[in-house]
Amino acid sequence: MPRRQGYALLIALVAGTAALAAAVAFATTLLSGPRSTPLPPAETQAAARNPVDPAASGPSWVATWTAAPVGGEPGTEGGLPGRTVRNVVHTSIGGDAARITLSNLFGTTPLVVDQATVNTRPVTFKGAATVTVAVGGRVVSDPVVVPVAPDSDLQVSFRTPRGGGPVTYHPYTHQTSYLIDDRGTFSTTHWRYLTAVDVRSEQALGAVVALGDSLTAGSGSSTDANARWTDVLADRLGGRYGVANAGIAGNRVVGVGRGTGGQSGTDRLDRDVLGVAGARTVVIALGINDVQQSPQEADPQRIVDSLRALTDRAHARGLRVVGATLTPFEGFLTWTPQRDAVRHAVNEQIRSGTVFDAYVDFDAAVRDPAAPNRLLAAYDSGDHLHLNDDGYRAFGDRVDLKSLDRARAPRSDAL
């Protein structure tokens, strides 16, 4: 065969092979559809909590649910050996993958988990099914490919084969979860060990974190109705932001009361707000327990200064801050005219626009126009301090959505 014909034949064979490969690749794409973006590797705890960059393209990790750890559960000094904890949580936004955070903040012995699932999908930690959480520590799981729907209940289960107590928990959840052992399945209204569920989302711009007390935790609301004001807010936001509830019943701005109010807002800001995945805006709804809970704070300026300090710390991390006015409580056991005067003085400064970037007037949303130091009867849960489902809806409806996603501005906005 002449050399030129040999070269021509070789070129034809190469071209034919390339065309065949291209055809196979095209056919494969038609049959299988577009490939999803690969999951990123599990981040370290610090990287896992970096706020979302609103200008970043592609999917990001954003909190769909959080619970602030309150303390060590009484009677669980030996942990929950051989038991399965099934936490039921309500999502705010959806995503195509999830990861969970387990906390042993109040434990005095290491916590071992040897099985974990999200809606029955197995969860791993650095590739292993078993993880040990150090005393006072927390761990973030590997990503698990599981579809997470917005505004839905999610089951996060894990087994503790041996003691790891006391159990780090969040009581008064207004949500039914379960504890399972060889005797059966028992309902509970505690969340145990679980403090966050993050989702990988291409739509969410970030997370709004609500730092509050029992009025944020939902005291007085119906169990399993998901009627907290943060749930109402999440519905209104329609997936644009995750909503992370960091409310603790009895919580104060500074100090610790005689109840079970957990660490103060001042002490837990870094952990429960700045440490939330995708945190972009914080709504601070604290101060009423400083006014009415023993030991009472008689100087409104000290409460205001503490709220301002929280704002400054959030600003240092680039977060926008929206604050809430303090709501009426005449008729509650601790009410006095003097304490109510402190509440009014705090509200006056909040409304002046000198404490937060913007404020939401929860006081105006639920007070009785005919008796403004009292809750409107239609919103009162019955104790004259906490709200019913309708009252929390009034809170959630009161928040100006534009206040949550505007660029941080001087403290002058009134909502």
Dihedral over Cα of 41, 46, 47, 50: its sign:
positive
At 195-233, the pLDDT tens digits run 999 999 999 999 999 999 999 999 999 999 999 999 999
pLDDT at 22: 39
- Per-residue model confidence as pLDDT tens digits over 367-393: 999 999 999 999 999 999 999 999 999
pLDDT reported for residue 282 = 98
Contact between residue 61 and residue 198 where contact means Cβ atoms under 8 Å apart: yes
Q: What is the pLDDT of residue 407?
A: 52
**pLDDT for the residue 403:** 96
| pLDDT tens digits in sequence order for the chain, 415 residues long | 443 344 343 334 334 443 434 333 333 333 333 333 344 433 333 334 444 444 344 579 999 999 999 999 999 999 999 999 999 999 999 999 999 999 999 999 999 999 999 999 999 999 999 999 999 999 999 999 999 999 999 999 999 999 889 999 999 999 999 999 999 999 999 999 999 999 999 999 999 999 999 999 999 999 999 999 999 999 999 999 999 999 999 999 987 766 668 999 999 999 999 999 999 999 999 999 999 999 999 999 999 999 999 999 999 999 999 999 999 999 999 999 999 999 999 999 999 999 999 999 999 999 999 999 999 999 999 999 999 999 999 999 999 999 998 654 444 333 4
Task: Name the percent of the chain lying above pLDDT 70.
Answer: 83
Q: What is the 3-state secondary structure (H, E, C) of the chain?
A: CCHHHHHHHHHHHHHHHHHHHHHHHHHHHHHHCCCCCCCCCCCCHHHHCCCCCCCCCCCEEEEEEECCCCEECCCCCCCCCCEEEEEEEECCCCECCEEEEEECCCCCCCEEECEEEECCEECCECCECCEEECCCCEEECCCECCCECCCCEEEEEEEECCCCCCCEEECCCCCCEEEEECCEEEEECCEECEEEEEEEECCCCEEEEEEECHHHHCCCCCCCCCCCHHHHHHHHHCCCEEEEEEECCCCCCCCCCCCCCCCCHHHHHHHHHHCCCCEEEEEEECCHHHHHCCCCCCCHHHHHHHHHHHHHHHHHCCCEEEEECCCCCECECCCCHHHHHHHHHHHHHHHCCCCCCEEECHHHHHEECCEEEEECHHHECCCCCCECHHHHHHHHHHCCCHHHHCCCCCCCCCC
Picking from 249, 100, 226, 227, the residue whose alpha carbon sits closest to that of residue 171 is 249
Note the pLDDT of residue 29: 34
In this prediction, residue 9 carries a pLDDT of 38
Amino acid 406: pLDDT: 64
